[in-house]
Amino acid sequence: MNTDHFGILIVDDEPNIRSGLKKGLSREADLTETAGDADEGLAKFRETPFQLVITDIRLPSSINGLGLVELMLRSRPQTTVIVITAHGTVETAVEAMRLGAFDFITKPLDLDLIRQQVRKAREHHRLRLENCELRDQLASTGEISGIIGNCNAMRDVLQQVQQVAGTDATVMIQGESGTGKELVARALHDLSDRSNKPFVAVNLGALPETLSESELFGHEKGSFTGASRRKPGCFERAEGGSLFLDEITEIPTKCQVDLLRVLESQQYTRVGGEEVLDSDVRLISATNKAAQAEIEEGVFREDLYYRLNIVPIHIPPLRQRREDIPLLIDHFLTCCCERHHRSPKVFAEDAMQKLIEARWPGNVRQLRNVIERLVVTVRGDTIHAADIPAELTQVDLSTKNHGVNSNSVCSLASAVEEAEKTTIITALAACEFHREQTAKLLGVSIRTLHYKMNRYDLH
């Protein structure tokens, strides 16, 4: 990627300004061209890859300077634009910056000031290209926006993220709890043209059913008991950016209808309100359940599923990408030592092998929690196999010992209950008894977890 070449296009209807700027900025660029109106400017812009455009607001053509800015940035978002005008109103400045202009200056022009701005713009352009190049390099080594992985399955995920990020297509991320679905959603946002706008994440499984509609779409003052003021919802807070709906299959039936309407019309209303609001949001959803099974059970609408699942991305569980475990351990070890102000630690070979062979039902999230626990509790600089938590030991389900008789066999229902109880205890320990994280790890709602804990007296 060539970060050295820098071309400037000057668009202004006054010949003296065009010639003066071209002469004054000739040393700041490798190429300097001029155009007398928007049509000529757009034609030259399409022919030549200019890195900086300096354009007047009022131009004698079918479109004005703001329209020109919008067309150019839509065509090449990486272009840097400086807007100049003799009519320097706050409204015009705000509109120019909203469209993506780098700066806004007024006539009469100060050539020294413009030179300074051009140098800033050139540096801004160079940094932007270097960031793009760095992202490409990170992708080739298996790391984008915190996603770490070098196995073939994760390389496929990273490739999908790069291909889809620049579009507004809705994406459904599928994978077990703890595999990093939100990281993938953030990567889709970070690599998109919406990266400078909000990224809003909401866990639908953690929301009470009565508040789901208000959380998504907002509410007006007095719309229900306790609504003491107007509150914007997730769609409103994410305007212009990306909205990530985790545990999408947990969304109540009424909200499914409303969400489908937003996807079809790009419009919604707050709870208790009449004003119709436009929605410019890139929607990303995630689920740790088999959505098709939820559809067959009548829990999830099939038409909503097809609108959300335009681009499916599946994240493999950690047990299917064991070659990535040393990379993840190294990353978490460094982060946790820094966070807890511990001296750098290393894993002994037998400890590392034990972690590679562990079951990891909680996937990457469980691995991170285990590494953090070891960083905090192990006193020395080396972590040995004896330090690894007992719950990570593989359970041997083989029947090598054949002394089994009918008296030792329990009913299937009892076996299921005992397995469920053991799984919940293991998950609670892995999440250090944080209930919301445990519910995510198990792939159930917090309400279901509380019910199960009460049933098995696990408080």
CATH code of the domain in which 311 resides: 3.40.50.300
Q: What is the mean pLDDT of residues 435-444?
A: 84
Higher pLDDT, 122 or 456: 122
433 pLDDT above the threshold of 70: yes
Are 156 and 285 found together in one domain? yes
Q: Measured between alpha carbons, how far is 343 from 98 in angstroms, rounded to an integer? A: 46
Are 124 and 46 found together in one domain? yes
Predicted confidence at residue 396, as pLDDT, reads: 42
Are 212 and 160 found together in one domain? yes
Q: What is the mean pLDDT of residues 190-219?
A: 88
CA distances from 408 to 400, 403, 405, 413 (A): 16, 10, 6, 15
Give me the torsion for CA of 38, 39, 42, 47, rounded to 10°.
-140
Q: pLDDT tens across 268-289, in order?
A: 999 888 888 989 999 999 999 8
Q: Measured between alpha carbons, how far is 145 from 140 in angstroms, rounded to an integer? A: 13
Q: pLDDT tens across 389-420, in order?
A: 888 865 544 434 444 444 444 556 666 777 88
Predicted confidence at residue 399, as pLDDT, reads: 37
Range of the structural domain that residue 439 is part of: 319-393+411-455
User: What's the pLDDT band for 44 if we cut at 50, 70, 90?
Assistant: very high
DSSP state at residue 247: S
Predicted confidence at residue 410, as pLDDT, reads: 54
Q: What element of type H or E holds 69?
A: helix 65-75
Are 122 and 40 found together in one domain? yes
Predicted confidence at residue 402, as pLDDT, reads: 45
pLDDT above 90 covers what percent of the chain?
A: 39
DSSP state at residue 408: G
Q: Decide if 143 is inside a domain.
A: no
**3 state SS of 446:** helix
User: What's the pLDDT band for 193 if we cut at 50, 70, 90?
Assistant: confident
Q: Measured between alpha carbons, how far is 324 from 317 in angstroms, rounded to an integer? A: 11
Mean of all residue pLDDT scores within the chain: 84
Are 312 and 190 found together in one domain? yes
359 pLDDT above the threshold of 80: yes
246 pLDDT above the threshold of 50: yes
Q: Measured between alpha carbons, how far is 293 from 277 in angstroms, rounded to an integer? A: 34
Among 392, 354, 360, 388, CA closest to 374: 388
Burial environment of residue 360 by CB neighbours within 10 A (0 to 12, 13 to 18, 19 or more): buried
Among 185, 277, 284, CA closest to 232: 277
372 pLDDT above the threshold of 80: yes
Higher pLDDT, 251 or 64: 251
Among 294, 317, 212, 219, CA closest to 259: 212
Q: Measured between alpha carbons, how far is 199 from 281 in angstroms, rounded to an integer? A: 10
CA distances from 390 to 105, 358, 359, 379, 429 (A): 66, 10, 12, 18, 10
**3 state SS of 442:** helix
Q: Decide if 235 is inside a domain.
A: yes
Give me the torsion for CA of 23, 27, 33, 38, rounded to 10°.
-80
Are 276 and 190 found together in one domain? yes
Higher pLDDT, 96 or 199: 199
Predicted confidence at residue 130, as pLDDT, reads: 63
Are 51 and 114 found together in one domain? yes
Q: What is the mean pLDDT of residues 361-365?
A: 92
Q: Decide if 217 is inside a domain.
A: yes
CA distances from 382 to 344, 357, 372 (A): 9, 19, 14
134 pLDDT above the threshold of 60: no
Q: Decide if 144 is inside a domain.
A: no
182 pLDDT above the threshold of 90: yes
Predicted confidence at residue 187, as pLDDT, reads: 92
Please tell me the chain's helix, strand, coil percentages from 3-state DSSP, rounded to the nearest 5.
Answer: 50, 15, 35
Higher pLDDT, 318 or 290: 318
* Weakest mean pLDDT among 42-56, 80-94, 354-368: 80-94
88 pLDDT above the threshold of 70: no
Among 392, 31, 376, 438, CA closest to 206: 438
52 pLDDT above the threshold of 70: yes
Q: What is the mean pLDDT of residues 292-301?
A: 87
Phi, psi of 149 (to 5 degrees): 175, 140
DSSP state at residue 322: G
Are 331 and 299 found together in one domain? no
Q: Decide if 345 is inside a domain.
A: yes
Predicted confidence at residue 401, as pLDDT, reads: 47
426 pLDDT above the threshold of 90: no
Residues with Cβ within 8 Å of residue 459, at least 6 apart in sequence: 453
Q: Where are the alpha helices (DSSP H) in 142-252?
A: 152-165, 181-190, 212-217, 234-237
Are 241 and 328 found together in one domain? no
Q: pLDDT tens across 316-328, in order?
A: 999 999 999 999 9
Higher pLDDT, 184 or 101: 184
Domain boundary among 316, 338, 353: 316
Q: What is the mean pLDDT of residues 249-256?
A: 90
Among 110, 113, 96, 115, CA closest to 26: 115
Are 179 and 290 found together in one domain? yes
Predicted confidence at residue 89, as pLDDT, reads: 60
Q: Decide if 403 is inside a domain.
A: no
Q: Decide if 406 is inside a domain.
A: no
Domain boundary among 284, 316, 348: 316
Are 169 and 288 found together in one domain? yes
Q: Measured between alpha carbons, how far is 56 from 14 in angstroms, rounded to an integer? A: 10
User: What's the pLDDT band for 371 if we cut at 50, 70, 90?
Assistant: very high
Under 8 Å between Cβ of 330 and 190: no
Give the CA count within 13 Å in the CB-facing half-sphere of 162. 18
Tokens of 126: 């160079």
**3 state SS of 444:** coil
Secondary structure (H, E, C), 385-398: HHHCCHHHCCCCCC
Tell me how many domains the chain contains: 3
Rg of the chain, C-alpha, whole Å: 28
Instruction: Give the CATH number of the domain where residue 425 resides.
Output: 1.10.8.60
Q: Measured between alpha carbons, how far is 242 from 232 in angstroms, rounded to an integer? A: 15
CA 457 from chain centre, in angstroms, equals: 38
Domain boundary among 285, 316, 347: 316
Q: pLDDT tens across 302-318, in order?
A: 999 999 999 999 999 99
Are 356 and 292 found together in one domain? no
Q: Measured between alpha carbons, how far is 314 from 288 in angstroms, rounded to an integer? A: 10
227 pLDDT above the threshold of 60: yes
Q: Decide if 138 is inside a domain.
A: no
Predicted confidence at residue 392, as pLDDT, reads: 83
